[in-house]
Structure 1
Amino acid sequence: MQGVTVKVVTLLEDPFVMVAENILGQPKTYKGFSIDVLDALAKILGFKYEIYQVSDSKYGSQLPNGSWNGMIGDLINKRADLAVSAITITPERENVVDFSKRYLDYSVGILLRKPEEKINIFSLFAPFDLAVWACIAAAIPVVGVLIFLLNRLQALRSSATQNAPQGQPANGVVGSGSLQSAVWIVYGAFVHQVALRIVMGSWWLFTLIVCSSYTANLAAYLTVSRMDHAIRSFQDLARQMEVDYGTVRDSAVYDYFRNKGTNPLEQDSTYAELWRTLSRNNGQDFSVSSPSEGIRKAKKGPYAFLWDLAVLEYAALTDDDCTITVSGNRFSSKGYGIAMQHGSPYRDLFSQKILELQEKGDLDIMKQKWWPRTGRCDLNSHASAHPDGRSLKLHSFAGVFCILAAGLLLACLVAGLEAWWKSHRCREEAPKEVTQSRVHTEDTATLYFKDPDTSPDLVELQYTQL
């Protein structure tokens, strides 16, 4: 091929074919993985090429009248000698054009926006349903009232038989004679009493079961919440109903799902379900007209774009915000090749040189250039859960701190009301005669005098015993 100039038709598809920086007055130049492969073949075989973009921006599919559009149509109509881009080798295309050996494996991937972590400050209450929490809250006063009634009944019996004080049962339970004290026992961790063992034993057993169930469910809830629920396969995509999905209409991927979904011998019903969604309203509902439109739609979300895995990986690697991720099967019997006219003398020559590039590792070097393994964006950020665990963040405990703050504020409010109430009652019930209020350790006492004739105010007098 020394000195031969071939005409090449192409289609822009990152990172296979992209427009390089153009110099004013100079012909348009291109770059990309497919362009690197073409340049390597041109250097080895010694040919030159002229390249142009296909007019309809399509790879090539058969029309109802039997003709072909896109780059395949240009090859059939002999407007071009070669077609170089992210063009896949399919049986339908091989019937009308020739392909070289594949220079890159092909598989279909899923591009979608990374799931955002939902922040719930009351997530620690999630192990129990609202009805369970309500029943637990209702059980506290019920048990407290029952303890109060049983204590009162036992106190009356003890008073009648042993002349015991009304407020102190004979069994030694101190401070449980009032409803307030009985309810407070429910909150206690240890109760010093002999009677009411059945009630308190039942309550302790109830508390033990509730605490154990809460601990177990909380651990399971936090484990599940840490696991990633991203869509990883076509089966996951077909089962869910929250995310719409589509591909490019009248493309090789579109034909792939149509053939798999309408094949009666296909045992996996996943493809039939996917095809029903993709073909809804002749593909107008969810499918798009170009790969760039599908990528933009996936970035906005919620939308899953089905397309060539290599193209989707490059889009995820070069995303400015690293908000999209890729999943899919990386094992496929198909691949990308260089298309040429049917019966072209270049087929065997190109295939041989492509195999040589594979053997020397040149194709791997080119691939690493356009799909770096390490970069700003991580393609495998959703591939697995965090097996080493994660520490609980502040928002997980925010609800508990809010409840603690509310309890502290309520306690301060109640303390203020109690102080005001006791002060008000002391003013109303103060005796007219002199009363000794308190005696200090240094033999100091405070006397209060009330003069009903002159002033209702109290007059304080301190004296020290000589």
Structure 2
Amino acid sequence: MWIVAGLSDSLTSLDPTLDIPIDSMVSEVREVSGRSDEFHLHEVWSPGAGVKLKKAHLATWYMGAKPPTRPTGNPTPPTDPAPYAQPTESSSQTKSQSLVFASIPKYDRRHDLSGVHFRITSINDTRAHKSRYDPKTRRELFTGFFGEVWEVLRKEMNFTYSIRTPDDGEFGAEANGSWTGLIGDLHGGRADVIVAYLSRTYSRAQAVDYSSVLVKFSYRIFARPPERSSLSWTSYTRPFSLGLWVSLFLAMVLLGILFWAVALWYRRQEERSKSPSNRLQRFKDWQSDASMVMWAALTQQGWTITPEVSILRAVFWIAYMVGVVVVAAYSATLVSFLTVQADDLPFDSLADIQRIGKHRLGILKGSVLEEFFKNQNFKQYLNSLILPYPDTLAKSYKELRAQALKDSDFAYVGTYEIQRLDSVGACTFRSARQHLLFNDGSLGWPKGSQYIQIFDHFISRLRESGLLQKLLLDWFPDSYYSCPDQPVVALGLKQVFTAFVMLGCGILASVIFLCCERSVFQFHYYPRTIYRNA
């Protein structure tokens, strides 16, 4: 803090164009007229380069035993430009003097930025930040979430602004020691502040200073679900996982062995009996048909003959009840799989895309994503999914979406909260379930800018009042776009193709077995018949 004393007149009169940054603490001491024991401290600052100095009351210094009592109806001294505040416990005072500070916060006293003009650099984005010229007001209008926040700050602090867009249309990435896009405008002196969704990265933090966080977004991978145009060979096996199919097979085998063992035991009991009954042949039949009996029980087909002993009936009943549950679950799942159009993506992560090997990945050029993929942990995906293709680095999400609409093998990375707010992002595209990146969005200032603290002060006010959250929900509501109900798709050959293949294989196998049996019959029996007749 700098204190200037002994001047014949105020700094604002002696040198009104003196450049004193708005975030500095320069004060001048002025003696109260007619009183030798009371002095005022006035803080002095300049709202901006070329703008006249302004001053405000900072504190009052009383040299007497105690400060004079102010009238109740007039608590502010006529010479004080800020409301008078009685001494508090934090005031520096002794028996002979006291220092009473103004109760208004520093940047509330300095809120008036009249005469300051900011050159904004931004990129048009429908919901985040978009500018257009209004012929009625004859100036650029700033809309979107960041635009409305900036307009609120403009009304609060009385500054003016103009808007430009970077020539390359990028957010900003470092290349060969220089910066592109928004950050390049800031470094090149073409802009004073970045008003856009400027994500935070380590390298950017070395080039610009960020404001307080305005919004938090997450990034996911988006793509158009593949069309079900090819014939499916797994239509009738998809309802159950491989592990469940193996478990059912083992259960049928084990139950068949148990049924066979019980029938064998009863058969031998009958054979050892002195007077075998007519049940011996039936036990032989149960033993030879054990596997088919269990198959019939599990598939709910039943059997023509009821087992005569309780143990065989119990095994058959267990298999039948297991079959009731399995068939019900399989039928319900099969109907869903055949009639409901599957729209899930075949991948959930970058590793899945790389493993599948047929997709390419699009990102915004000069965005936080480009720096993200240049990280050592993700560089393999940059080299395999992005750089080998000419259409994966785009300047806007509009380009990325257009490419993804044409090609289901083209995926792109986008902000989940924004992409799901319209019909294309919510209904045409699907997102991978795994979040790729979480990031904060802020304003960007040149390194060491004098305006960072005052803007952070008023952004905090917007956050505390709830206005920031209201603006956020206006532009990025929690409820995403509601897609219309999908029409019921009639079953076609591609859904039941496997069943016809199995039917054809069964017919072919039957014909082959019939021919084989006929050949065997002719070979074994036909020559004997000729010999006997001869």
Structure 1 residues 209 and 70, CA gap change in structure 2 (3 angstroms): same
- How far the C-alpha of 1:241 sits from its partner, in A, is 3.2
Q: Deviations over 1:217-244 (max 9, x none)?
A: 8369649947874344445444443433
Report the Cα offset of residue 35 of structure 1.
Answer: 0.4
What letter matches 1:245 in structure 2?
L
Question: CA, structure 1 residues 9+206, in 2 after alignment: closer, same or farther (shift >3 Å)?
Answer: closer
Residue 411 of structure 2 corresponds to which residue in structure 1?
A: 304
Q: CA RMSD in A?
A: 4.6
Once the two structures are superposed, residues 117-137 of structure 1 have per-residue CA deviations (whole angstroms, 9 ceiling, x without a partner) of 6798998744799xx9xxxxx
The 5 A counterparts of 1:145-294 are 203-209=292-298, 212=323, 215=327, 218=330, 222=334, 225=337, 229-230=344-345, 231-259=347-375, 262-263=376-377, 271-281=378-388, 284=390, 286-294=392-400
Which residue of 402, 422, 428 maps to 1:323? 428
Q: Which one is further off, 33-42 or 249-258? A: 249-258
Distance 2:178 2:440 in 1: 24
In the alignment, structure 2 segments of 5+ residues that lack a partner are: 1-112, 246-277, 301-322, 504-534
- Choose which of 92, 101, 118 in structure 1 pairs with 2:212: 101
Deviation at 1:104, TM superposition (A): 0.8
What are the Cα deviations for residues 20-42 of structure 1, in whole angstroms up to 9, with x where unaligned? 58549954534211101111111
Asked whether 1:48 is paired with 2:143, we answer no
Question: Cα distance 1:365–1:202, how it changes in 2: closer, same or farther (>3 A)?
Answer: closer
Query: Structure 1 pair 275/55, CA: closer, same or farther in 2 (3 Å)?
Result: closer
Equivalent of residue 127 in structure 2, options 5, 11, 15? 15
Distance in 1 (alpha carbons) for counterparts of 2:379 and 2:299: 47
Q: Is the 8 A contact 2:146 2:195 kept in 1?
A: yes
Change (3 A) 1:376 1:68: closer
Given that 2:418 and 2:476 are in contact with CA atoms closer than 8 Å, whether structure 1 keeps it comes out as no
The 1:223–1:200 alpha-carbon spacing in structure 2 relative to 1, beyond 3 Å, is same
* Contact 2:197–2:441 (CA under 8 A) maintained in structure 1: yes
Distance 2:406 2:434 in 1: 24
Change in CA separation of 1:39 and 1:327 when aligned onto 2, cut-off 3 Å = farther
Per the TM alignment, residue 8 of structure 1 is displaced from its structure 2 partner at its CA by 0.8
Tell me whether 1:113 sits opposite 2:219 in the alignment: no
Relative to structure 1, the CA distance from residue 86 to residue 127 in structure 2 (aligned partners, 3 Å threshold; closer, same or farther) is closer
Contact 2:208 2:446 in 1 (8 A): yes
Give TM-score, length-normalised by structure 1: 0.56
Query: What is the CA distance between 1:81 and its match in structure 2?
Result: 0.9
Matched AA of 1:29? L
The aligned length equals 322
Contact persistence 2:195–2:444 (CA under 8 A):
yes
1:306 is paired with a residue whose SS is strand
- Larger relative contact order (C-alpha < 8 A, sep ≥ 6)? 1
| Residues 328/287 of structure 1: CA separation in 2 closer, same or farther (3 Å cut) | farther
Partner of 1:5: 117
Listed one character per residue, the Cα deviations across residues 132-162 of structure 1 (whole Å, up to 9, x for unaligned) are 9xxxxxxxxxxxxxxxxxxxxxxxxxxxxxx
Cα 1:113–1:127 shift into 2, 3 Å: closer
- Aligned residue for 1:58, secondary structure, equals coil
Identify unmatched segments of 5+ residues in structure 1: 133-170, 172-192, 264-270, 382-391, 407-466
Partner of 1:163: none
Residue identity (%): 21
CA change 1:289–1:218 in 2 (3 A) is same
Q: Is the 8 A contact 2:171 2:366 kept in 1?
A: no
Cα 1:348/1:202, change in 2 over 3 Å: closer
Residue number in structure 2 paired with 1:429? none
Could you tell which deviates more after superposition, 27-36 or 226-235?
Answer: 226-235
How far has the Cα of 1:318 moved from its partner?
4.6
- Deviation by residue 1:334-363 (Cα, 9 ceiling, x = unmatched): 311111222211111112222222222222
Which amino acid in the other structure matches residue 252 of structure 1?
V
Helix, strand or coil for the counterpart of 2:479?
coil
What residue is the counterpart of 1:349 in the other structure?
454
Residue 148 of structure 2 aligns to a residue in which SS? helix
Q: Identify if the C-alpha distance between structure 1 residues 121 and 50 changes in structure 2 by more than 3 Å, giving closer, same or farther.
A: closer
Q: Is the 8 A contact 2:133 2:139 kept in 1?
A: no
3-state secondary structure, aligned to 1:373: coil
- SS where residue 107 of structure 1 aligns? strand
- The residue type paired with residue 244 of structure 1 is R
Q: Decide whether the 8 Å contact of 2:239 with 2:333 is kept in 1.
A: no
Matches within 5 A, 1:451-462: none
1:33 pairs with 137, 145, 152, which one? 145
Counterpart-to-counterpart distance in 2, 1:30 and 1:128: 53
The DSSP-based 3-state class of the residue aligned with 2:178 is: coil
- Aligned-pair distance for 1:366? 1.2
- Deviation track 1:150-185 (CA, whole Å, cap 9, x = no partner) reads xxxxxxxxxxxxxxxxxxxxx9xxxxxxxxxxxxxx
Per-residue CA deviation, residues 291-350 of structure 1 (Å, 9 max, x unaligned), is 321122223342221134444344xx2538821234466696631111122221111111
Task: Report if aligned partners of 1:13, 1:86 keep a CA contact under 8 Å in 2.
Answer: no
